Chains A and B, each alone.
Chain A
Amino acid sequence: MTTAAVHTKIKVPHFVRGKLVWGEDCEYLSRDFGVPFVTPRIAFDELFVPRSELGPAFAVSVSEIIDFLVETAKHLTLETNPYLQESLEMTVQVSALPRRIIENTFARPGQFLTRQALEYRLERTFGGTDVLDGWVERTDPSGKVCRIRAFPPRLVHMLAGNSPSAAMTSIADAALVKAVNVFKMPSADPFTTVAVLRTMADIAPDHPVLQSISAVYWRGGDRQVEDVLYRSQYFDKLVAWGGGAAIENAARYAGPGFQLISFDPKVSMSMIGREAFESEQTLREVAERAAADVTIFNQDACLAARHICIEGDLDQIDRFCALLQERLGVQRDFASEVGPKPNAEIRDAVEGMRFLEPDYRVWGGFDGRGLVVRSPEPVDFHPTNKTVNVVPVTSLQDATRFATVATQTVGVYPDHRKAEIRDRLATAGVQRVVRLGSAMTGSMGTPHDGMYPLHRFVNWVVDDDA
């Protein structure tokens, strides 16, 4: 990893319930390049309303909130939004990804925010919006009557900082359930959440949704902050995106009245049937689709494939490996032609394998253009930085034993064979089965990490006449 040349201190503002707060009280280093940045001191009392008060957005209708989000999305276009532009420049300084890819992630981070999409999602999660907007009466088979509400929760969100659209997603989720929120911004990107919130404040500075949100930075694990905030008296749930020491640390605060909603760190894989070898053209297409799934964000993402299980004889599979390696070195919207080089652990293990042919075979080098390693069973190093491990299998059924509780997405070729293996994958722990090459796209209103997140966010409260 190279060191960024620019080392001026970046000023990171906090966003506290509609107001922007600047300050240089605390200094930190960013995650990937150790670029210093400064933030204001956190004034705890100002971050959120106490339990003795109703949250600012509790009484606002979902429809009105959707209006605000859709309006926000219109302003989230890189060319015209100065906050996104500023955030982009700062992100470039602290990110491991090249500028071109970051620009692509900043282009239209709100494009998924349409009224139709949001309503469809709420419909799939809650059966409609009435249970969010008020107390919905139900009568049970014995005639007893009660009223249910998906009551707005009090949430701390530990953001992962993968992309601006992830920041927008978290803000939209928080808004849709009308929650009282504190966002703990990630050191990898302490800018973009605030950029989106500033955009919203320009549209409606006093909007109850903004009155319900504070976005601040502290170093994950800082006990002076977390010992104070992580209490059931202040929050119901900790929403943790991703994994790492900061999340493990925060999870220790979970207990009665303070629950953990964890979007766990994951790995992904692909499974390819012998149909891939029907023709040279098919094989090339399959190699391209496999490469597309491997290279997402230069493989620094949960849904990027790391292992590929494939049916076929060794000669066929070796041909696939060679084509795959070629396609790893292609520039894509969210991947570099030449990415970060594989680490020493990978270099060591792969060098060792070169002496173990023909059981093991290697295509490509350690130059960041892509490395393919064929082995009789999955390798015991973690394939990353455009490194992919190809494992020959006798059948896709057989390949499902390589899926585990850590596996998130499995891309399958040909498409129709998903049905053959999806039950076995799901029982192993897999949460998402997709067409090979489609790991990055998805339908609206689907579950995420084995749950409907918004359903988990809210507090289900009953007013019972029984």
Chain B
Amino acid sequence: MTITAQPVRIEELDAHFQKRRHQVPVLARRAQEAGTTAIRTADDVLPLLFPHTTYKSYPESLVSKGRWEQLNRWLDSLSTYRVDVDVDGVADVDGWIAHLEEAGHLVSSSSGTSGKGSFLDKSARDREVSLQNLLDCLTGMGLPPDRSWNFIPVGPETRVSQHVATRDLLVDSFHRRDGVALPPSAAPEGHHRYMSRLSAMRKAMADGTASPDEVAAFEAEAAQRQQLQDGRLSYLAEQILARPTERFFFSSQFPQLFRLTEVLRELGASDGDLTGGNALTVAGGLKGVTLPPDYRERIFGILNIAPERFLHYYSMQELNLRMPKCLAGRYHVPAGLHLFVLDRDGESLVPLQGGVAEGRAAFFDTTVDGRWGGTISGDKVVAEYGECSCGRPGITIHDDIARFSDLHDDDKITCAGTMDAYVRGFIEG
């Protein structure tokens, strides 16, 4: 087997570095520490890629104690354009994000139920590129924006402006004028507020300051949010079953989509009832939710989705560009995106063995405007360099992507603990 080095497009990277190194303070600092003034080799660029955790490296207390001025300073350190935004009257994290959006910083935040959220400063241009890329991916697989579908935003719905913008774009591009009436955006308000409260609640549990009544109230609220989502899914299911022969275009994540198929079955539907050639777009994997091993077959069966009408892409909020999956089952890395396959620790490039590299995925997205485009992900990937069996050239990623955090050593026993072991989670909200 031949062992070669991964191809790296140095000149392009250096051009971006020269532009951003005077703009993004953390990049400037890292470059200074490494003594890097120009990217001449792959080794120069690796220490300058930001681990995905960088975007949640702020102290949690800045949010829980409402220190918005300091949160601005933290965000500024990772931004291309200065975060000089008045935070007077900001009451909570949703308010902070709203203030920043007014000033052109379209802060993207993701937050899990188990930890604190990340904040990424995106510009209007970032959002434009990302939305256009979504339409391009769909058009590229034969799903042009022709407003010929019943477009079903399965959700989960939030009022995060990026989610809303994506949903609106897809509705405007694909939904028939006489299509099913979509439910009013029923997302409970204050998505980030809720998520940051969830995070604060978890911390309070760990600190021992949360009272049992507070825990009970929170559990109840989470259950209520779940119920709202289920109500929305029931409404959508009824609309779908009322027009079984029409064409539907679903947009979702797998766990929520699977729940929809369960609701459909509860309403008496079975495979073959829907006869339109339906389409689907899904971002990401299972988000840590466990589904039955045949969940895809079950979803595709009842929703009547064919592989050629299914846009499954790999991306992350650090990237504007998507990697759409081809019919051969591989994610294709587009031209504007650099892929680096690194070792487990994210410190060096792994060699290509027979044109294949396996390791931690890192990216440089040349279209990223509001930040530095270099990111080290938490994902373990297998990448192939050469022609894909679908017939197209270029770099592809196999579809069995794992998160390193899920690949923990299950035989490690240690007396040195962390608080995590002592906190039981809340129900998913």
Interface residues of A, Cβ cutoff 8 Å to B: 1, 31, 158-162, 186-188, 219-221, 241-247, 249, 263-267, 299-302, 304, 344-345, 348-349, 351-356, 359-360, 375-377, 379-380, 382, 384, 401-402, 404-406, 428-429
In angstroms, Cα B410 to Cα A220, docked, is 7
In angstroms, Cα B75 to Cα A252, docked, is 43
**Given A160-B413, A161-B413, A242-B414, CB of A406 within 8 Å of CB of B422:** yes
Q: Across the interface, name the chain A residue whose C-beta is closest to B409.
A: A31
Query: Which residues of chain A come closer than 8 Å to B53, judged between CB atoms?
Result: 344-345, 348
A404 touches B416 (CB 8 A): no
A241 touches B29 (CB 8 A): no
**What are 20 A-B contacts with C-beta separation under 8 Å?**
A31-B411, A220-B410, A220-B411, A241-B413, A243-B413, A246-B412, A265-B415, A265-B416, A267-B419, A300-B414, A302-B417, A344-B376, A348-B50, A352-B26, A352-B74, A355-B76, A359-B70, A382-B418, A382-B419, A405-B422
Find B414's partner among A160, A352, A354, A376 (CB 8 Å cutoff).
A160
Q: Across the interface, name the chain B residue whose C-beta is closest to A427.
A: B208
The verdict on B345 contacting chain A, using a C-beta distance below 8 Å, is: yes
Q: Across the interface, name the chain A residue whose C-beta is closest to B209.
A: A401
**Given A355-B74, A356-B70, CB of A244 within 8 Å of CB of B414:** yes
**Given A220-B410, A245-B408, CB of A349 within 8 Å of CB of B57:** yes
Residue from A31, A345, A348 with most neighbouring chain B CB atoms (10 Å):
A348
In angstroms, Cα B58 to Cα A348, docked, is 9
Q: Across the interface, name the chain B residue whose C-beta is closest to A380.
A: B60
Query: Which residues of chain A come closer than 8 Å to B419, judged between CB atoms?
Result: 267, 382, 404, 406
Within 8 A of A (CB), among B368-385: 376
Question: Closest CB-CB distance, A97 to chain B, in whole Å?
Answer: 13
Interface 0/1 of B8-40, CB less than 8 Å to A: 000000000000000001100110000000000
The verdict on B400 contacting chain A, using a C-beta distance below 8 Å, is: no
Interface size of B by Cβ–Cβ distance < 8 Å? 41
A247 touches B346 (CB 8 A): no
A265 touches B417 (CB 8 A): yes
Not counting A31-B411, A247-B413, a sample of 11 additional A-B residue pairs whose C-beta atoms are within 8 angstroms of each other reads A1-B345, A31-B412, A221-B411, A241-B415, A243-B415, A243-B421, A245-B412, A264-B417, A348-B53, A352-B58, A384-B416
The verdict on B110 contacting chain A, using a C-beta distance below 8 Å, is: no
B422 touches A242 (CB 8 A): no
B208 touches A429 (CB 8 A): yes
In angstroms, Cα B416 to Cα A160, docked, is 10
Interface 0/1 of B267-310, CB less than 8 Å to A: 00000000000000000000000000000000000000000000
Q: Across the interface, name the chain A residue whose C-beta is closest to B115.
A: A380
Question: Closest CB-CB distance, B403 to chain A, in whole Å?
Answer: 15
Find B415's partner among A1, A242, A355 (CB 8 Å cutoff).
A242
In angstroms, Cα B54 to Cα A100, docked, is 35
The verdict on B116 contacting chain A, using a C-beta distance below 8 Å, is: yes
**Given A220-B410, A244-B413, A300-B416, CB of A264 within 8 Å of CB of B421:** yes
The verdict on B61 contacting chain A, using a C-beta distance below 8 Å, is: yes
Q: Across the interface, name the chain A residue whose C-beta is closest to B56.
A: A348
Question: Closest CB-CB distance, A431 to chain B, in whole Å?
Answer: 13
A302 touches B416 (CB 8 A): yes
Find A404's partner among B50, B57, B208, B411 (CB 8 Å cutoff).
B208
In angstroms, Cα B408 to Cα A187, docked, is 14
A360 touches B208 (CB 8 A): no
Query: Which residues of chain A come closer than 8 Å to B366, judged between CB atoms?
Result: none
In angstroms, Cα B408 to Cα A351, docked, is 26
In angstroms, Cα B418 to Cα A382, docked, is 7
Query: Which residues of chain B come closer than 8 Å to A402, judged between CB atoms?
Result: 207
A404 touches B206 (CB 8 A): yes
The verdict on B188 contacting chain A, using a C-beta distance below 8 Å, is: no
The verdict on B123 contacting chain A, using a C-beta distance below 8 Å, is: no
- For the complex of A and B, list the 4 residue pairs with the smallest distance between their C-beta atoms, beginning with the closest: A265-B417, A352-B57, A302-B415, A348-B57
In angstroms, Cα B74 to Cα A401, docked, is 27
Q: How many A-B residue pairs have CB under 8 A?
A: 146
Interface residues of B, Cβ cutoff 8 Å to A: 25-26, 29-30, 50-51, 53-54, 57-61, 70, 73-74, 76-77, 116, 203, 206-209, 345-346, 376, 408-419, 421-422
A355 touches B73 (CB 8 A): yes
Query: Which residues of chain B come closer than 8 Å to A352, judged between CB atoms?
Result: 26, 54, 57-59, 74, 77
Dominant SS among interface residues on chain A: loop
Question: Closest CB-CB distance, B79 to chain A, in whole Å?
Answer: 11
Q: Across the interface, name the chain A residue whose C-beta is closest to B376.
A: A344
In angstroms, Cα B409 to Cα A219, docked, is 10
B415 touches A406 (CB 8 A): no
In angstroms, Cα B73 to Cα A186, docked, is 46
Query: Which residues of chain A come closer than 8 Å to B422, judged between CB atoms?
Result: 404-406
In angstroms, Cα B411 to Cα A219, docked, is 6
A267 touches B416 (CB 8 A): yes
Q: Across the interface, name the chain B residue whose C-beta is closest to A162.
A: B415
B413 touches A186 (CB 8 A): yes
A188 touches B413 (CB 8 A): yes
In angstroms, Cα B422 to Cα A263, docked, is 13
Question: Closest CB-CB distance, B50 to chain A, in whole Å?
Answer: 8
Question: Closest CB-CB distance, A398 to chain B, in whole Å?
Answer: 14
A406 touches B410 (CB 8 A): no
**Given A348-B53, A352-B74, A354-B29, CB of A242 within 8 Å of CB of B413:** yes
A220 touches B74 (CB 8 A): no
Query: Which residues of chain A come closer than 8 Å to B30, judged between CB atoms?
Result: 351
Question: Closest CB-CB distance, A347 to chain B, in whole Å?
Answer: 8
Residue from A186, A355, A401 with most neighbouring chain B CB atoms (10 Å):
A355
Q: Across the interface, name the chain B residue whose C-beta is closest to A356.
A: B70
Query: Which residues of chain A come closer than 8 Å to B417, judged between CB atoms?
Result: 242-243, 264-267, 302, 406
Query: Which residues of chain B come closer than 8 Å to A263, judged between CB atoms?
Result: 415
B70 touches A265 (CB 8 A): no
Query: Which residues of chain A come closer than 8 Å to B409, judged between CB atoms?
Result: 31, 245
A246 touches B413 (CB 8 A): yes
**Given A345-B53, A348-B57, A404-B422, CB of A187 within 8 Å of CB of B411:** yes
B410 touches A245 (CB 8 A): yes
In angstroms, Cα B25 to Cα A379, docked, is 22
Question: Closest CB-CB distance, A403 to chain B, in whole Å?
Answer: 9
**Given A243-B414, A302-B415, A406-B419, CB of A355 within 8 Å of CB of B208:** no
B74 touches A246 (CB 8 A): no
Q: Across the interface, name the chain A residue whose C-beta is closest to B208.
A: A404
Question: Closest CB-CB distance, B26 to chain A, in whole Å?
Answer: 6
In angstroms, Cα B418 to Cα A299, docked, is 13
Question: Closest CB-CB distance, A411 to chain B, in whole Å?
Answer: 16
Question: Closest CB-CB distance, A378 to chain B, in whole Å?
Answer: 9
